[in-house]
Amino acid sequence: MKKAKKVFVDLSATILHHGHIRLLKKAKKFGKVFVGLSLDKEVKKYKGYVPELSYNQRKEIISSIKYVDKVIPTKWKITNKFLLIHNFNMIIRGSDHKKDKFKIKTIIFPRTKGVSSKIIRKKASKIVKKVY
């Protein structure tokens, strides 16, 4: 029997949306999905804000998605060393990360048009301003 491939998908998922779900669904077609979830301090360092939901809250949500087999903590920048230590067979990402190069098979899917955590955050901010 052929062993399932270990597929790595890295996310910060500060605000989970359907683009994330679509990427995870595509990844599941290739094997067992391991989500590398950015730690809070990494989000703060690279995006400049503290996530709306803590790492543990985001992990609980991501872990409950049927396409995800395991969630592991990660730094923002994924390295070849990290991928090799964990014996991943491939990495799957959205097209916003297409410049990064890895020694394992890499599959890049186009981003879902019209949605991102940043867009949702802006919309929410406008609603809050109108209410208050």
Q: What domains lie within the chain, and their CATH numbers?
A: 6-131 (3.40.50.620)
pTM assigned to the model: 0.87
Which tokens hold the place of 41? 């301090």
Identity of residue 15:
I
Would you tell me how many other CB atoms lie within 10 Å of the CB of residue 110?
11
DSSP letters, 56-118, are HHHHHHHHTSTT-SEEEEE-SS--HHHHHHTT-SEEEEEGGGTT---SSEEEEEPPPTT--HH
The residue with tokens 């809070």 is: 40
- Reported as a single tens digit per residue, the pLDDT across 32-87 is 999 999 999 999 999 998 998 999 999 999 999 999 999 999 999 999 999 999 99
